[in-house]
A and B are shown apart, each in its own frame.
Chain A
Amino acid sequence: MTADPRDLVVRGLTKRYANGALANDRIDLHVHAGEVFGLLGPNGAGKTTLVKQIIGLLKPSAGSITLGREDFVANPDTARALCAYLPQGALPLSSFRLQEVVELVGRIRGGDAPAVRRRVDHLIAALELDEWRDTAGIELSGGTRRLAGFLMAAVWPAALVILDEPTNDVDPLRRRLLWRLIRQLAEDGSSVLLVTHNVLEAEQSVDRLAVIDKGRIVAMGTPSSLKAGDRQSLRLQLSLVPGVDPPAPPPFAHRPIRLGQRWHLGIDQSDAPEAIRWAQDRMAAGVAEEYVLGATTIEDLYIRLIGREDALDRAS
């Protein structure tokens, strides 16, 4: 993709908090107009700090954030006008009814009442939320509140839509509807910056992604380009019997990673039969409880990059 005058460009973005913590360390990003860009990383990696700087809630210590010709660091008001934002935390919904609050945000974002009403009807139907249209926020389930928050971000076109963990607490069926709408936002011309720690879900839904850890970007690209190095590889996952000393990794395994009671081993396709035999022997010896041999996913790359089990949050 070539540069578009509506692209979000982040250069050398650094944020050091007053207590000395370095939350973002020289981050470079280029999110293209019409693209769904995933920002992955474990808790505390600096994802939310990054988006709060883009939306103008935090001031960068160094670096630049521009959308087209607009300088977001110098003009946070412009950032708020051009970005729609679903924050990670709670939304002030308690005393609003669902449709009412989405409509009000649509008007605050600049829409006129009839157009906003049509758009809200469309969105509520698309997420199958009709039965909660007039329900007060305080009576909505956590997932429905999250979806209401998404609608508040999607209700009126924005150059950049920032979604911080949009699928949290959302049921699997509506997650799919939600992903479809997120894709639609991009097709309608918005750039979508999607923050998540749900790796598998992101792999299926984003155009490109960046993995962020300890404030730095450690990998960036399309899901398939990030997996390119693993193309000939399989993943052998071995669940160990608790309390037993882990076996030495077999000679054909590469990049063994221990995550609590689980071993993750990279295996060449040609070594698959040998790997199955090895795993079955470990089970017979009472060292392992079960094994799974499968294709590598972004999750394998992610675990390798982050190297900690707390980094993981599997799709439910």
Chain B
Amino acid sequence: MNLFTRWLRSYGLMVTWELRSLRTVLPLAFVVQTMISSGLILGLGFLMHDITATQAQFLAVGVTVVSMITLGMVMAPQLIASQKQSGAYEYLLSLPVPRTTLIAAGLTVHSLIALPGAAVALLIAWLRYDIALSVSPIVIPAALLTLTTAASIGFALAHAIPNPMVTSLVTNVLIFVILFYAPINFPADRLPVWLASVHQVLPFGHSANLMRAGLTEGLASSVGVSFAVLGGWALASWSVTAWVVGRRA
């Protein structure tokens, strides 16, 4: 077997490992994801009385994005943090597979498991607000990059922060940033100017922008910049994770 087929074999086995090790968590994650999205769609609807067609589009895509990124950015690092606490993490590191397959398999699984819940979120929003969706092919790379980047950032947080308690704390703070302080469910011009400019370099608003480009018409701008920023975050996260996983204390 050459190096690449050996890598692929290990990768396939580690994907199997990840899927099976998550099988008790997956149904629960799907339920929580669906509850959060339906709660947001219905609850924010109550808050924002007289919702306009544009606001409904923002909300529908926004809630889908929230659903897509919370599993990778919040649940994945919390799972890894608990693996670190129990010692199971070290066992994985002791397996005779290239460390890159550990990361790649984890990212693949944690990215894709968010899809069903996200699809349900979009469906609920569509049923509630009867929004006009206009799906373009850009939705595929947009969704893949959004999912991968979120999971990559989650992995980098979980691996780079030595104390699992701190990881849990950081990810809990992230939920609030995602829900209320990021231009995901509403346009960036609602935010104070300084916060809007911070979000030009953060991934959240760019994920939402890309998904709006893929699912609606006329609500997204500077799609190329969003691809670049998200790609940058994914690359940076991979580098951090690879460095942390590759080194020995």
Q: Write the residues of chain A forming the contact surface with B, with a CB cutoff of 8 angstroms.
A: 18, 52, 55-59, 76-77, 80-81, 83, 85, 87-92, 94-96, 100-101, 104-105, 107-110, 136, 138
Neighbour of B249 across the interface among A55, A59, A107, A138, CB < 8 A: A59
Which of the candidate stretches B13-21, B31-39, B107-115 sits at the interface with the other chain? B13-21
A95–B25 CB distance below 8 A: yes
- 15 residue pairs bridging A and B, Cβ less than 8 Å apart: A55-B94, A58-B249, A59-B249, A80-B96, A81-B96, A87-B90, A87-B91, A89-B88, A89-B91, A92-B21, A92-B88, A95-B24, A105-B95, A108-B95, A138-B24
For A105, what are the chain B residues with a Cβ–Cβ distance below 8 Å? 95
Cβ A87 vs Cβ B98 within 8 A: no
User: Total interface residues on B, using CB and 8 Å?
Assistant: 26
Decide yes or no: A57 and B93 within 8 Å by CB, A95-B22, A95-B24, A96-B21 being known contacts: yes
Are A56 and B13 in touch, CB under 8 angstroms? no
What B residues does A80 contact at CB under 8 A? 94-96
In the complex the two chains form, is A59's CB within 8 Å of B248's CB? yes
Question: Does B5 reach chain A (CB closer than 8 Å)?
Answer: no
Q: Which residues of B contact A96 (CB under 8 A)?
A: 20-21
Considering only residues 1-58 of chain B, those with a C-beta below 8 Å from chain A are 10, 13-14, 16-17, 20-25
B97: chain A residues at CB < 8 Å are 108
B94 CB contact (under 8 Å) in A87, A104, A110, A138: A87
Q: Which 7 A/B pairs are nearest by Cβ-Cβ distance?
A: A89-B87, A92-B88, A59-B248, A90-B86, A95-B24, A81-B96, A80-B96
Asked if A109 meets B96 with Cβ closer than 8 Å, knowing A58-B249, A92-B83, A95-B23, the reply is: yes
Q: Identify whether the interface residues of B are mostly helix, strand, loop, or mixed.
A: helix
Q: Are B94 and A95 in contact (CB under 8 A)?
A: no
- Complexed CA–CA distance, A7 and B14 (Å): 30
Known A56-B248, A96-B20, A104-B13; judge A90-B88 contact (CB<8 A): yes
Query: Given A57-B248, A92-B83, are A110 and B88 neighbors across the interface (CB < 8 Å)?
Result: no
Residues in chain B near residue A88, CB distance under 8 A: 87
B residues bordering A, Cβ < 8 Å? 10, 13-14, 16-17, 20-25, 83, 86-88, 90-98, 248-249
With a CB–CB cut-off of 8 A, which chain A residues contact B83?
92
**Chain B residues positioned under 8 Å from A91 (CB to CB):** 87-88, 91
A81 to B94 CA separation, bound complex (whole angstroms) = 9
How many angstroms from the CA of A118 to the CA of B90 in the assembled complex? 28
The chain B residue sitting closest to A73, CB to CB, is: B248
Contacts of A100 on B, CB cut-off 8 Å? Answer: 20
- Given A85-B94, A105-B95, A107-B13, 10 more pairs with CB closer than 8 A: A18-B249, A55-B94, A57-B93, A59-B248, A80-B96, A87-B90, A90-B86, A91-B91, A96-B20, A108-B13
Minimum CB–CB distance for A9 against chain B, Å = 20
Closest to A156 in B: B96
**B93 nearest CB across to chain A (Å):** 6
Which residue of A18, A76, A110 contacts B248 across the interface (Cβ within 8 Å)? Answer: A76
For B12, the closest partner residue in chain A by CB is A107
Provide the bound-state CA to CA distance between A101 and B19, in Å: 12
Instruction: Report whether A104 and B91 are in contact in the complex, using a CB–CB cutoff of 8 Å.
Output: no
Closest to B22 in A: A95
User: Which residue on A lies nearest to B9, using beta carbons?
Assistant: A107
Given A55-B94, A77-B98, A109-B96: A104 in contact with B88 (beta carbons within 8 A): no
Residues of A within 8 A of B249 (CB): 18, 58-59
CA distance A144 to B16 in the complex (A): 23
B183 to chain A, nearest CB (A): 37
A268 to B83 Cα, complex, angstroms: 53
**Shortest distance from the beta carbon of B7 to any chain A beta carbon, whole Å:** 12
Minimal beta-carbon separation of A197 from chain B (angstroms): 18
Chain A minimum-CB-distance residue to B25: A95
What's the Cα separation between A81 and B24 when bound, in Å?
30
**Minimum distance in angstroms from A239 CB to a CB of chain B:** 37
Closest chain B residue to A56, Cβ basis: B248
Residue numbers in A under 8 Å from B91 (CB-CB): 85, 87, 89, 91-92
Kindly state the separation between the CA atoms of A95 and B83 in the bound complex, as whole angstroms.
13
* Alpha-carbon separation in the docked complex, A274 to B54 (Å): 100
Q: How far is the CA of A95 from the CA of B92 in the complex (A)?
A: 15
- CA–CA, A223 and B14, complex, Å: 42
> A87-B87, A108-B13 known; A95 and B248 CB under 8 Å?
no
